[in-house]
Amino acid sequence: MFLENPEHAHSQQGWVEVICGSMFSGKTEELIRRLKRARIAGLKVDVFKPTVDQRYSENQVVTHDTVAIDATVVDAASSILLLSGGLNVIGIDEAQFFDSSLVDVANSLANMGIRVIIAGLDTDYRGKPFGSIPALMAIAEYVTKVHAICMKCGNLANFSHRKTIDKQLVLTGETDLYQPLCRSCYFQIQDENKK
Q: Which pLDDT band holds residue 11 (cuts at 50, 70, 90)?
A: low
Q: Catalytic pick from 94, 141, 174, 192?
A: 94
Is pLDDT at 175 greater than 80 in this prediction? no
Please tell me the distance from the alpha carbon of residue 150 to that of residue 183, in angstroms, as a whole number. 9
For range 177-182, the mean pLDDT: 91
As a residue count, the chain comes to 195
pTM here is 0.86
pLDDT digits (tens, 9 = 90+) for 21-68: 999 999 999 999 999 999 999 999 999 999 876 666 677 677 777 777
Comparing 171 with 105, the larger pLDDT belongs to: 105
Q: Is 94 designated active site?
A: yes
pLDDT digits (tens, 9 = 90+) for 82-131: 999 999 999 999 999 999 999 999 999 999 999 999 999 999 988 999 99
**Which of these CATH numbers, 3.40.50.300, 3.10.580.10, 3.40.50.1860, 2.130.10.10, describes 9-147?**
3.40.50.300
